[in-house]
Chain A
């Protein structure tokens, strides 16, 4: 079974600085998707960024970018120019293709990293 590990339960960053959140995963598959989700205090789960495993280029979305290292099974999230509104729990997620016919697209989450942004 696939597992997702976020080794940093909590992180903090100064406003306008850069922070990197770590994520590693375990899989025997060659094709999969990886995601970062953000959960602010409102508890709404919001997609931040996604990466297809077959793409070598790292995904970017404005101030958010990833460092995808497929061989190392690592998928870190970098937040540049941190803002107060970035404070939230961040979850790394893995989406697999399992079973015959590719019909099982199970989505597995890590335990999350709580990010605090200091003014």
Chain B
């Protein structure tokens, strides 16, 4: 199994541009998480899907952020428009039921 796959690994974009981060969870996993990591705030849960349905999106910072999971093997996190304060490492993780979560390599986003 290739593990959780995130793309791109690095993204540099200009303020105001749309950014889309992608995630392929481990096959057979039914839970998917998007986290944001910064020095100031640590690891923040943005949104959590269970069986492709968003269960908890209380961590999504504002309307500029949106996430979708159209099927069990793909999820996206979109930021539109992006701002410099969105610069962070974004992680996707997946798990089966209550088992441990497996993380992707993360996407380092820089908004200039």
A residues within 8 Å of B by Cβ?
33, 35, 43-45, 47, 50, 91, 95, 97, 99, 103-112
Q: Nearest Cβ distance between residue B46 and chain A, in whole angstroms?
A: 12
Which residues from chain A contact B55 at a C-beta distance below 8 Å?
99, 103-104, 106
Which listed segment binds A: B19-27, B62-70, B74-82, B100-108?
B100-108
Which residues from chain A contact B100 at a C-beta distance below 8 Å?
33, 35, 47, 50, 95
B28 at the interface (CB under 8 A from A): no
Task: List 8 A-B residue pairs with CB atoms under 8 Å apart, sorted by A's residue number.
Answer: A33-B100, A43-B106, A44-B103, A45-B103, A103-B51, A107-B45, A108-B45, A112-B43
Within the assembled complex, what's the spacing in Å between the Cα atoms of A43 and B90? 11
Identity of the chain A residue whose Cβ is nearest the Cβ of B55 in the assembled complex: A104
Identity of the chain B residue whose Cβ is nearest the Cβ of A48 in the assembled complex: B100
The listed residue (B42, B97, B101, B105) touching A112 by CB distance below 8 A is B42
Identity of the chain B residue whose Cβ is nearest the Cβ of A31 in the assembled complex: B98
Within the assembled complex, what's the spacing in Å between the Cα atoms of A111 and B98? 21
B93 at the interface (CB under 8 A from A): yes
Which residues from chain A contact B48 at a C-beta distance below 8 Å?
104, 106-107
Within the assembled complex, what's the spacing in Å between the Cα atoms of A45 and B95? 14
Q: Nearest Cβ distance between residue A57 and chain B, in whole angstroms?
A: 18
Contact in complex: A104, B43 (CB < 8 Å): no
Q: Nearest Cβ distance between residue B11 and chain A, in whole angstroms?
A: 15
B50 at the interface (CB under 8 A from A): yes
Which residues from chain B contact A105 at a C-beta distance below 8 Å?
31, 50, 95, 97-98
